[in-house]
Amino acid sequence: MALEQKLALKLAQKLVMTPSLQQAIKLLQMTRLELQGILTQELVENPLLEEVDENQEAEASEEQDEETEAEAKPAEESTADELDHSESMEDIDLDAYFNEYLDSTTGPSVFEPKDAPPLENTLSRDPDLYDHLLWQLHMSEVSARQREIAELVIGNLDPEGFLVASSEEIQLMGQDTHDDEPYTIEEVDEAIGLVQGFDPPGIACRSLQESLVRQLEAQGEPEDSLARRILTEAWEPFLKRQFQALAKQFEVDLHDLEPVIEKIRCLETRPGRKFSSERTHYVEPDVYITKVSGEYVILLNDDGMPRLRISRSYRRMLKQMKNDGKEADARNYIKDKLRSAIWLIKSLDQRQRTIYKVADSIVRQQRSFFDQGIEHLRPMVLRDVADDIGMHESTVSRVVSNKYMHTPRGLYPLKFFFHSGIDREYGADISSLTVKQKIQHLIQAEDPKRPLSDSELTRMLKREGINIARRTVAKYRDELRIPSSNSRKQIF
């Protein structure tokens, strides 16, 4: 069969992501801080956008706005239609930018600064481990060559303070940065020993065992002390909590072994932890939930967010321009910027409407949690909210991403309210978070000398009508960072 080329017409339907829809989706999943940065940038780049002063009343009428939209010729389908058939916005002046979308008795209310959460948990940045060690190095009387090697050692510490490079690797690093005589292994080991003598004790070691020994050494423990001998001669039995075997190996009574084990337990397992350089992340709630006269009121947080509208001066300029000659390019430029501004304002309005709808659905479906606490949190997935508000699951997923809700019971990410359920012999399914809390309470109330095993926890939960497997209990316990029963057992 011969190959041939020919032209053919074909009708087909396909989903096209228009630039306006892409912008709406992008704005929907942004955090407040990210959105604030985008709006500030748009105010700089788009001359047709202007910020409305808080005390300035909107002056443009609906007729002016509709006329502007007609001149800009926006797409037939608005962003609101593309995002799950929500209502379109016809007032581009956005008098009610963030809070007047629905009836005042059920819709978003103006956020008051007094409604903000307290700030007593504000943290200052801890000293940086790298700078702390460099300061001690510069205060030490060492040669310039030894200081260079020690700086390489400090630069190869992980955030917990452990040395992650071998002496040979540090030696090779010196060859790449040093034009003179290469470093020797002896010089590198000497520099490592120098850094290990700095504060905090146990720093620059390659293993937990070595770090604990260094910490005991810094406390003045002699080399032949029982604590140091346990760490150097019986490390594996110590890790496995085989205290009877330790007492027999070192020929001491179990009673005499107790204070030694307690001293080792008090040592720092991560010597660089208190100098962690991790940045403190501050969270601004997107939604506030307050209880007024027995009903929960939803407040959308617009604090610090610029209020946008279309510039009237540019609207008048667009009307006066002729569509010929030199003015044609300027007119087209203004029309493009006008179209972009309209889509941005519509997308912002739709974003706030969608966040409000999702928050309202969460409050209604999780009313028992807000009234009585986490034990009454019901299982809920994205589809439950999506079906409730008539939107797609992907839209709800974007809404809850990186957004927070401040409630009378604390600050929660919106994702907190979405989790699986576990079958019960009677009644509705129970939330996995509720089961985790029950496991935590059972372990907190256990006898330290006879801790509950995962099998015992499973039986106790089943007596409460919760059908759960032992491996699921073990999984939840691990997620709660609770050690196994063998590790929790109190010997002394």
pLDDT at 107: 45
Return the higher-pLDDT residue of 132 and 101.
132
* CA atoms in the 13 A half-sphere facing the CB of 209: 11
Which of left, alpha, beta for 433 (phi over 0: left; psi -120 to 50: alpha)?
Answer: alpha
pLDDT at 389: 93
Which of left, alpha, beta for 282 (phi over 0: left; psi -120 to 50: alpha)?
Answer: beta
The alpha carbon of residue 465 and the mean position of all alpha carbons in its chain are separated, in whole angstroms, by: 34
pLDDT at 49: 87
- pLDDT digits 0-9 by tens, 203-238: 999 999 999 999 999 999 999 999 999 999 999 999
Please tell me whether the peptide bond between 200 and the residue prior to it is cis, using omega within 30 degrees of 0. yes
Mean pLDDT confidence for 58-72:
47
Please determine, for residue 21, whether its predicted confidence score (pLDDT) is greater than 80: no
The answer to whether the CB of 361 falls within 8 A of the CB of 400 is no
Return the higher-pLDDT residue of 444 and 176.
444
Q: What angle do CA 291, 398, 290 make, to 5 degrees?
A: 5
pLDDT at 99: 41
Residue 111: pLDDT band with limits 50, 70, 90: low
pLDDT at 13: 74
pLDDT at 205: 94
pTM (two decimals): 0.64
Domain ranges of the chain: 129-275, 422-488
Distance CA 91, CA 62 (A): 6
Mean pLDDT confidence for 173-180:
66
pLDDT at 17: 64
Give the position of tokens 């706030």: 352
Please determine, for residue 298, whether its predicted confidence score (pLDDT) is greater than 90: yes
Please determine, for residue 465, whether its predicted confidence score (pLDDT) is greater than 70: yes
Residue 68: pLDDT band with limits 50, 70, 90: very low
Q: Which helix (H) or strand (E) holds 406?
A: strand 404-407
Mean pLDDT confidence for 379-402:
92
SS3 484: coil
Q: Please determine, looking at this structure, whether the domain spanning 422-488 carries the CATH number 1.25.40.10.
A: no
Please determine, for residue 157, whether its predicted confidence score (pLDDT) is greater than 80: yes
The tokens describing 262, both together, are 């307690």
The answer to whether the CB of 241 falls within 8 A of the CB of 491 is yes
Three-class HEC string of 189-234: HHHHHHHHCCCCCCCCECCHHHHHHHHHHHCCCCCCCHHHHHHHHC
Q: Which of 104-108, 318-322, 324-328 has the highest mean pLDDT?
A: 318-322
The strand pairing partners of 163, in sequence order, are 157
Return the higher-pLDDT residue of 297 and 13.
297
Please determine, for residue 118, whether its predicted confidence score (pLDDT) is greater than 80: no
Please determine, for residue 175, whether its predicted confidence score (pLDDT) is greater than 80: no
Residue 5: pLDDT band with limits 50, 70, 90: confident
